[in-house]
Amino acid sequence: MEVDEKIIENVFDYSNVIPTKDSVFALIKYCEQIYNNLVQIMNNEEERNMKLKDDYKEYKYKNSGTSFEIHVNSDNYAGSYSNYYCKNLEMLENLYKEGKLPFVTNLTISMELSFRRGRGYLNYSVQRHEHIFKIVFKPYNISFTRNSNVDDEEIRIIENNINNVFSKFNTVNTIFYSKDDDINV
């Protein structure tokens, strides 16, 4: 079943949240679980389809570009900066434990959940679904974006769940970032 392509570029501003280490780690943990679950589903489908001839293979999630990465920049107080790329939360936690992140200047969580869906193997009937999630933490600029080429219900659920995790972060209302509907002056 082919789905019409539709460009989706959702951007959410979370500049009023307080990104504590615990709350950011909880968000990373959720994203990592989603990524790992999808990779497991893809591996199971690939194993099931290996036994079939190409014309009979049918995929709901055929891996075509998945990735999960945490990119961290840190100021080492001596005027030097360090860049770290982590493939999971454990690697990031180790950097903290080792004291390599004395002052985080920004942190980006990138998750690509791209797959092909359809019958056959690599022919025209298999449709590519591209879904890229990016969460950026910079001082006074925190954002979550989702870019997709297909409106997929499961991906919408992931987007909503990430927004729900953000809703659990503590917030602050300042003159720069007020999320109040009615401001009395």
Q: What pLDDT is stored for residue 50 in this prediction?
A: 81
Q: Residue 38: pLDDT above 60?
A: yes
Question: Count of domains in the chain?
Answer: 1
Nearest to 157 by CA among 1, 3, 38: 38
Containing domain of residue 44, as a range?
5-166
63 in any annotated domain: yes
Please report whether residue 72 resides in a domain: yes
Is residue 174, in this structure, part of any structural domain at all?
no
**Is residue 175 assigned to a domain?**
no
Asked if the model's pLDDT at residue 101 lies above 50, the reply is yes
List CB contacts of 135: < 8 A, sequence separation 6 or more.
27, 31, 108, 109, 143, 144, 145, 162
Whole-number Å distance between alpha carbons of 43 and 55 = 19
Residue 36 lies in a domain: yes
Q: Report the half-sphere exposure of 162 (CA within 13 A, side-chain side).
A: 27
In this predicted structure, what is the pLDDT of residue 185?
37
Residue 144 lies inside a defined structural domain of this protein: yes
Structural contact between residues 102 and 80, judged by C-beta atoms closer than 8 angstroms: no
Round to whole Å and give the CA distance between 128 and 161.
Answer: 23
Please write the tens of the pLDDT for every residue from 44-100. Answer: 988 887 888 777 777 788 888 899 999 999 987 767 889 999 999 999 999 999 988
Residue 53, φ and ψ in degrees, nearest 5: -70, 155
Task: Note whether residue 182 is domain-resident.
Answer: no
Give residue-wise pLDDT tens across range 104-159: 999 999 999 998 888 765 555 678 889 999 999 998 899 999 999 999 899 999 99
Task: Read off the amino acid at residue 126.
Answer: V
